[in-house]
A and B are shown apart, each in its own frame.
Chain A
Amino acid sequence: MTHWKGVDRKVTAIALAFVFGSLTAVSGESEPAQKPLRSLRIVPSNAAIWGAPPIQHFVVIGRSADGLEQDVTSEVQFTLSDSALGQIDRSGKFVARGSGAVALTAKAGGQTAKTTIRIEEFEKPRPFTFVRDIGGILTKRGCNDTNCHGGVKGRGGLRLSIFGIDPREDYKWIVEGGHFRVLTTEENPKYSRVNSKDPEKSLLLLKPTMSVAHGGGLRLEAGSEDYRAILNWVREGAPYGEEPEQQGVRVERVEVIPAEAVLQEGQRLQLVVTGYLSNGKREDLTEKVRYLSNDEHVVDVSDTGMVTAKTLGETHILVRTPGHTLSADIGVIQGPVRHFPKLQARNYIDEEVLGKLRRFHVLPSELSGDAEFLRRVCLDLTGTLPPPHRVREFIADSNPQKRDRLIDALLSSPEFVDYWSFRFGDLLRATFVNSLTIRGSRAYQNWIANSLATNKPYDQLVRERIAAQGFSAPARNFYYVAELTTTEVLMPELIRLFMGRRIECAQCHNHPFETWSQNQYWGLAAFFAGYTEVRDAQVGNGLIIDVLGGGHVDQPKEMRVANPRTKEKVDPTFLDGTKLPEKEWMDPRMHLARWATSHPYFAEASANRVWSFFFGRGLVEPVDDFRSTNPVSHPKLLQTLAKDFRDSSYDLKRLMKTIVQSRTYQLSATPNASNKADKSAYSHAQARPLEAAVLLDAVTQVTGSPEAFEFHRLAGDGAATPGTRAIDTIADICPSQFMDNFGRSTRKALPAASPQPNLLASLHRMAGPAYNEKIVREGGRLSERMAKLVSDEQILDEFYLAALTRFPTPTEKAELLKVLSERPTRRKDTLASLVWAILNSREFAYNH
């Protein structure tokens, strides 16, 4: 039985024994170095070396009594069972001198660890491939970084593929030369970067060693191992080497150890990177990969993978090698959490989140109080503040199930439909372009509302949106919204919105950060090649259809677009390269819709987006920017959410319920000393500004003075039905200065990030009618209460309950009543000022 009143420390049947079992309460000071160790281990364990150079890096991890692990390699005494087979230095780097098996022992802090190293063919060089051996150097040295030669136009005439994803191209560029232009494929005179007659004079060597001027600076030391590798390669005729794709040995998988680590400020940790080869062997890649910190304020990382913790926070170290990108999740904390409370998980969300918090030594905040929870969940599910009597009711209710009951009530309320129609209206862009299409935009908005009211499966909703055509499909009105009539804009929006990928940059050139190619971009764009509108002058409505030949029925039948750079025509092609068969060209968007909604990207992007509605950020953030260089904060949780969403037939309400029922969602927003720097581990709730429409409705509700909306001239003039709420309105139909100032989306583009403070909003809060006239209007809450001779204290309570969903604290009440009592002749003004103050408080304007 779960108890939600206050913090419950009883262990129940749903305890996390398996997660917390290893941790016991301890006392004792913790210092960054020289802690007594409880245990020691060597990573990687069971190392297997194959081929020359026969190297393996080892890191020795010590676990201290407080549960923290540390890299203690520098304090370790290593011994090898057979020194004839190899030697190991102080940094943990082992170099073999013979084949066989040798035992490695590490001693530190009174503890011992052992592992066995197997060595095979220690003298036989691994088969050479340009991809790994030269490509690896180019990646490691940063030559093919985005802002260097891997950039869209390359540098200094040399263009390499980003992350070495196209080794054949890179090889051609280096050995034959080339010249890059964004929008044409003209070739200029080429010159090779290798000099077979005089290898040491190869530009590939002269430039990075700064023997000639090099904008990229010193990247290679003359005489270093990498230098010699390149030199030897040129001397041997610059071969391409094995074709890894066919029979050659390739790296199938790369692993970084540790994948997760917690450090204290100033501590260091060496990462070890292992490549798993296609022939079953392994290769130590620690010195061969490129390391980048995603946030250099939190940690930085050296060229050889030594991580140093700088300030509190969490970030990822990206590890790059040709064909692979992976990351290590590093948290920096002040000190270990000595007593991690036993907390119950309501569902898999809590298991994952609490698990990570425990591993990262971040203490979650307390559970939210009732008032805090009530306000937050009402705003998150319905965009509506609970009225004062509901607040009193909920706080007084002693039913242990009250939170679940509240959630159910909110999910089945009409306000739920209204609010999510508004949110999805912003995302799906329900608006209009000119007076001919207003009815259509209303139909589109109504379709969204109906879909939500009937809890239509989300994938079905998306398919209807993508494939909409004909006269009557309401979602076809999306295609009228201005600036969307070109394939270049239609397609990326769809991918971004429903699949969480930003493919736009690949319009003109291969994507600079990710591996989207321009052909993939135009292959998807080709699905819209035939999309057009056939207008019926009498009816006035347009018929949205896909026409072979792009709108002119007498043109040759083809569903293709031209790649603007290569000028080649591209067939409709899915991301994996499969083309849409010609017999399906009559209805390309239906196929696109089916493909998109059954693609794994769809489930994870949708789950991520729904998650972000409740937490202010996604597990991938920004929510529509999934890429290898933007690691997921909780990969397993995202997978589970995606699967859950998919398995439930994309039931939105069910997913939302799972989220808001979790303990994680219900945590307080008040941080503690351990978690105040945390922004991405969900240790506490984060404050988020209210959307403009929600804020206006809140002001209306608190002041009790209705907001009158008028239709724009082009929308037919006149007044909106009294009682229309701000979340019911569309910007272009019902203009509102208030909402414009507070960041309302005009729906002419995807919604921007949450509203930002700005001057106009401040002016409006000082001088605008919503914060002045609305407060004192006749018939409004304040004037009614005063007319009924309600006391100051009762008025105070009521406005606090209405606006802040809580009672004033005793201190607040005393101070505020005092101010009121000091101005007896200006009671009305002072009460109005009090309401103004409440409405202007950050507490009111934020969801927390």
Chain B
Amino acid sequence: MKRTECYRCLGAALARRDFLRAGTLSFLGMTLPDFLRFESVQARAATLAGNSLPKAKAQAVILVWLEGGLSQLESWDVKANGAFKTIPTSAPGIQVAEIFPRIAQHMDKLSVIRSMKTEERNHPQGTIQTLTGHRPIPALKFPSVGSIVAKEAGSRNNMPPFVIVPMPTEGDFFNYQEAYQAGFVGSEYDGMILPDPSRPDFHLPDLSLPKSVSSDVIADRQTLLRIVDRHFRQKEELAEFAKMDAFDEQALKMLLDPQVKKAFDLSQESEKTKDRYGRHRVGQSMLLARRLVEAGCRFVTAAGYKHGQWDTHGDMEQLLRGTLAPLLDQTLSALMEDLTQRGLLESTVVMVSGEFGRTPVINPKGGRDHWPDCWSLLVGGGGIAGGRIVGASDKEGAYVADRPVAVGDLYATIYKAMGIDWTQTYMSPIARPVYIANGFDDVPGNPLKELI
């Protein structure tokens, strides 16, 4: 096959070749009939979405955020020292922990990276490193991946580009919000933080005009504002004023666009759907995330776990089996099904991760502690291949045995899927150039060839 410059074609060619080779340690063990069947499933999915070829460009990202740090050994990278047995999944060659039976049925859509490697061992710092790709330093606030996507991809359909649902933490006062926000890039790219969508009184502050504000009133306000501000703006016009004008315009469009309001309105969903996702904070956040990307948001963080809930330092088995796994299993599988059925999977990247992994050794309290040296996460959709394994950990799931992956490599993959130049640097206010995809050893990350 002749190599072309078009990365889309190249991507397709690679996909075929590497499909059988993703991660050198595992041969997927597919027989030809399996392979052909797999191919046809892909093609059918593509047809459902109305495209005969997978789109090269993803339009949005949903980050399923597992605050506290999910244990890789009890989820996507089970080893002998894991607490649970494994079950096969819809992706031949991938096994996951038995506590995620429904997610197992969707592993053809999600790939697992088993060799994530970071350095920060504590929650605030780990959250910052995983969400920005950079280790936190006092001199600079790095922009999160959500803010970068918002900046690069821009807004669609008058929707705010970056939304965080719900509020990142209710527990302690580490400023986790910092990790999600735009940092030095500018507060225009901060995420819009929503309250808990599962509450009966859930409403978007500021997303609907009060009833008293009719279109007459809106017109009057604009007329009067022009008169009142003219005197001052004739004398002094700052660049900021024009920026404010632009945001005001955007805000008004959002407020007047019924589609925007509808996007945030969960009552538009059927009871069946709400049940499927689960009538709790995690489920309804996931459901709202799907609505939001459908309406045009670019990056939505879907969380809703209690503060650091995945941080199982003790009673791990019980917590996982009893509470955490059922929550994730229900909600993530609902999301994957929903995205597939609505034809959104081709255009939506789904990333499932916490801030780090957990220790290979169980501690005296029956739990695992923080472990950044080798951990796992799931990513797929939006043109990023599913059903693959990238990298491998050693026998205990402790250290990377093959193909260490930096956060920047992961983000380079996502940026590539979205058509964003992943090698870019942003210039920070301290005159230090900052990679938007920060790889190992201070170079930009590389998109994972196995996946895109």
Contact = CB atoms under 8 A, between A and B. Distances in A.
A493 B192 contact: no
A634 to B, nearest CB: 23
Interface stretch (B29-37, B43-51, B206-214, B367-375): B206-214
Interface stretch (A40-48, A450-458, A756-764, A782-790): A756-764
A842 B237 CA distance: 10
Q: Which of B137, B224, B227, B240 has the most CB of A within 10 A?
A: B224
Interface stretch (A94-102, A282-290, A829-837): A829-837
A358 interface: no
A843 B138 contact: no
A355 interface: no
Chain B's interface size range is 35 or more
A749 B178 contact: yes
Contacts of A431: 173
A768 to B, nearest CB: 5
A482 B236 contact: no
Contacts of B432: 505, 512
A763 B251 contact: yes
A758 B221 contact: no
A830 B175 contact: no
B280 to A, nearest CB: 20
Interface in B240-255: 240-241, 243-244, 246-248, 250-252, 254-255
Contacts of B138: 488-489, 492-493, 504
A833 B255 contact: no
A598 interface: no
A821 B60 CA distance: 50
B251 A762 contact: yes
Nearest to A493: B138
Contact of B247 (A513, A689, A758, A816): A758
Interface residues of A, number: 68
B5 interface: no
B39 interface: no
A807 B147 CA distance: 43
A210 B190 CA distance: 46
A502 interface: yes
Interface string A265-301: 0000000000000000000000000000000000000
Contact of B244 (A507, A671, A743, A842): A842
Interface string B176-187: 011000000011
Interface string A812-848: 1001100100010010011011101110111100001
A840 B227 CA distance: 12
B190 A760 contact: yes
Nearest to B172: A434
Contacts of A756: 186-188, 240, 243
Contacts, number: 173
Interface in B150-198: 160, 172-175, 177-178, 186-188, 190, 192
A482 B250 CA distance: 36
Contacts of A752: 141
Contacts of A732: 173
A765 interface: yes
A504 B141 CA distance: 13
B36 to A, nearest CB: 49
A669 B236 CA distance: 8
Contact of B175 (A746, A758, A772, A841): A746
Given A749-B178, A768-B205, A843-B229, A483 B220 contact: no
A809 B231 contact: yes
Contact of A748 (B178, B216, B228, B236): B178
Contacts of B240: 689, 756-757
A758 B187 contact: yes
B228 A816 contact: yes
A777 to B, nearest CB: 12
B139 interface: yes
B238 interface: yes
A717 to B, nearest CB: 14
Contacts of B254: 763
Given A687-B236, A758-B247, A834-B224, A763 B206 contact: yes
Contacts of A832: 217
Interface in A751-797: 752, 755-768, 772-773, 776
A833 B221 contact: yes
Contacts of B192: 759-760
Nearest to B184: A752
Given A756-B187, A760-B192, A834-B224, A772 B174 contact: no
A830 B124 contact: no
Contacts of A505: 139, 430, 432
A15 to B, nearest CB: 30
B173 A757 contact: no
A206 B398 CA distance: 48
A749 B220 contact: no
Given A434-B172, A434-B173, A746-B175, A841 B206 contact: no
Nearest to B205: A737
B233 interface: yes
Contact of B225 (A153, A671, A841): A841
A54 to B, nearest CB: 40
Interface of A: 153, 431-434, 482-483, 488-489, 492-493, 502, 504-505, 507, 512-513, 622, 669-671, 687, 689, 714, 732, 737, 743, 746, 748-749, 752, 755-768, 772-773, 776, 809, 812, 815-816, 819, 823, 826, 829-830, 832-834, 836-838, 840-843, 848
15 contacts: A482-B172, A482-B175, A483-B124, A512-B432, A513-B431, A670-B236, A755-B187, A756-B243, A765-B248, A766-B206, A766-B248, A767-B251, A816-B227, A836-B221, A841-B229
Across the A-B interface, give the 9 residue pairs with the lowest CB-CB distance, nearest first. A762-B251, A837-B224, A843-B232, A748-B175, A762-B247, A504-B139, A837-B225, A757-B244, A763-B206
Interface of B: 124, 137-139, 141, 160, 172-175, 177-178, 186-188, 190, 192, 205-210, 212-213, 216-217, 220-221, 223-225, 227-233, 235-236, 238, 240-241, 243-244, 246-248, 250-252, 254-255, 429-432, 442
Given A502-B430, A757-B247, 15 more contacts: A482-B173, A488-B138, A670-B236, A756-B187, A757-B243, A762-B250, A763-B254, A766-B206, A767-B213, A767-B255, A809-B231, A830-B220, A837-B221, A837-B225, A842-B238
